[in-house]
Structure 1
């Protein structure tokens, strides 16, 4: 029995990226032997074990072949006769098909180290096309490694197009799609994930709501890039520089989604696109089983992001209504989230990336000022009850907004 470190840990170590997880492959063993050594069997689809002390994952060397549709449409063979080279052959990219023994020696039959040096995302074999999830995985790796100038090999991109056009992506489970998307949204350049999906014809299948934005014009006066799909990607790029928070990034992705429903006769204007996008956001989040906190933030951002642009001209009661809509009193973090999304929208436009967006800080500072209101004092020192207390609190908040506006003018 021989044990090798494989996959992402080797790749990341060679790229000087912090290694967070280690995966191991076991050659020349079987399930019974692993159990006798104290390993815990946890794999449902194929034999995966947890080390009794480190709890790291150990998999028996195996081969796979396509037997049906989707991610789970595979049969596997895991036996003591499967070689390390055979196991590595089933993996997605050459940079993930490198093994290392306990002495530190590399085993690299598919030139993964060379592709790491050349910054290339390249499939290991033609069996790459058997797993539709790999389209999303490659897009995610492209997003993750963009800052290191990685690119997708043209043959791999061509395979991804074939896979998209085959209909196989429709068999992917929502949970798998969201997991890859979530991981991509954590990367430095999440916009690359969606750009790659667009390039290989997968965006129209996985995110038709986003894909539909391409080709839809906006007024050149406000949007020099004109195309709403391009604007959406620029917005996602900017928000990712402003925050690492995934819910905020996803909400920024969806902020203009309603423009996909604007009748062509109204182009390039999009009146009411914020509220028009709400059913689309709900549908997308329900389809991919996206957590409710992300869905609710996305709905709010679509509804009011452009109002923040005009915050200096809003009436006090309308400003108070914005804070009420986002439930700022119970969820104060949303104030900053909405401010950042609005900033990303304003700066996510061709030639406007570096503009100063003062409205966001103004919106945040006003909230901080209003939050000084002592709610407990109002409740304890008032003879009011029920809805009258709520109205009193609202009245006092409105007074503070008016006073804040006077201080700033």
Structure 2
């Protein structure tokens, strides 16, 4: 039995990046051997075991054979005679097909280290085309590693275009597409995820609404001005916040998708909380300067800012990230929101007022607070 550190942990070590987790491959062992060594089985489509002390996962070396459509249409073989190189050969990119032995010696049969040095995302073998999920994974690695200048190899891009032209991409589930997309939003350059998918033709199939906007004007904010593009807005947002949900909503609003967000989000099983956030942010972004304190309070009430404070603040953050400057109206909104939420309703409760009268009395206090906040903002300007 031989155990090797494989995949992302090896890649990240060579990039001098702390790995998120570590995966291991076991060569020359059977499932019973693993059980006899005290490993706990992890239920799945192939033999994976968990180390009882570290919690890290150890998989038996395996090969894969295409048997049907989609990313699940594979038969695996985890016999004890499967070699390390055979296991590495089934992986997507050369930079993910490296291993280290117990002495830290690099095992690199597909020249992944050279591709790391060259900043190249290159497929391991022609079998790359058998798994449509790899199209999204390549785009995600472009988003993650773009900060080091990584780009998709020409021949790999060609295979991705071939995969898009086939029926394989349609086999991806909505949940899996969204999962990969949302994970890309955490990466340092999330805009590159959409760029790679657009260039190989995949975006038109999985996110046609986004494809249409990027392919036509990419005008941003509903303006006719060509800059900043939605991709540039997303790139800028990624430097301001690490929150993937905020980044994605900023991108959708920058694409002027406000009219189709509900359709887009429901079509791809995007969580309702993101739909709500996008709706509230669209309302705040589109609203012109309220002409009075009453209009401002009504706007905040319309987006339920009292009961859903965090959502309102998140929506305000989305609006702030949609522009490089800080428009005065956003500053007024922020100050008014703070003032409204700071109102102390205890005196009204102590007065014994109840029912509709209580609500009216509280609103008077909030209206006064918002009015003062607007006046202070004008004075500050």
Normalized against structure 2, the TM-score is what? 0.92
- Say whether 1:224 aligns with 2:225: yes
2: CA distance between counterparts of 1:181 and 1:217?
Answer: 19
Distance 1:390 1:301, change over 3 A: same
Question: How far apart, in 1, do the equivalents of 2:283 and 2:171 lie?
Answer: 33
SS of the residue 2:123 aligns to = coil
Per the TM alignment, residue 224 of structure 1 is displaced from its structure 2 partner at its CA by 3.2
Which structure 1 segments of 5+ residues have no match? 260-273, 348-354
2:310 matched to which residue of 1? 333
- What are the residue-to-residue correspondences of 1:2-401 with 2, within 5 Å? 2-214=2-214, 215-216=216-217, 218=219, 222-225=223-226, 231-255=229-253, 274=258, 277=259, 280-307=260-287, 310-311=288-289, 314-347=291-324, 355-385=325-355, 387-401=356-370
What is the match of residue 269 of structure 1? none
Q: Cα distance 1:103–1:358, how it changes in 2: closer, same or farther (>3 A)?
A: farther
> How big is the alpha-carbon RMSD for the aligned residues of Structure 1 and Structure 2?
2.2
Structure 1 residue 364 displacement after superposition: 1.7
Give the deviation of 1:132 after TM superposition: 0.5
Whole-angstrom distance in 2 between the partners of 1:363 and 1:222: 22
Q: In the alignment, which of 353, 356, 372 is matched to residue 403 of structure 1?
A: 372
Aligned pair in 2 of structure 1 residues 213, 37: CA closer, same or farther (>3 Å)?
A: same
Structure 1 distance, partners of 2:181, 2:208, is 14
Would you say how many aligned residue pairs link Structure 1 and Structure 2? Answer: 377
SS state of the match for residue 375, structure 2? Answer: helix
Distance in 2, matches of 1:220 and 1:178, equals 24
1:236-260 alpha-carbon deviations (Å, 9 max, x no partner): 222222211122112112215565x
Once the two structures are overlaid, the 10-residue window that deviates more, 358-367 or 59-68, is 358-367
Change (3 A) 1:150 1:87: same
In the alignment, the residues of structure 2 paired with residue 341 and residue 5 of structure 1 have an alpha-carbon distance, to the nearest angstrom, of 41
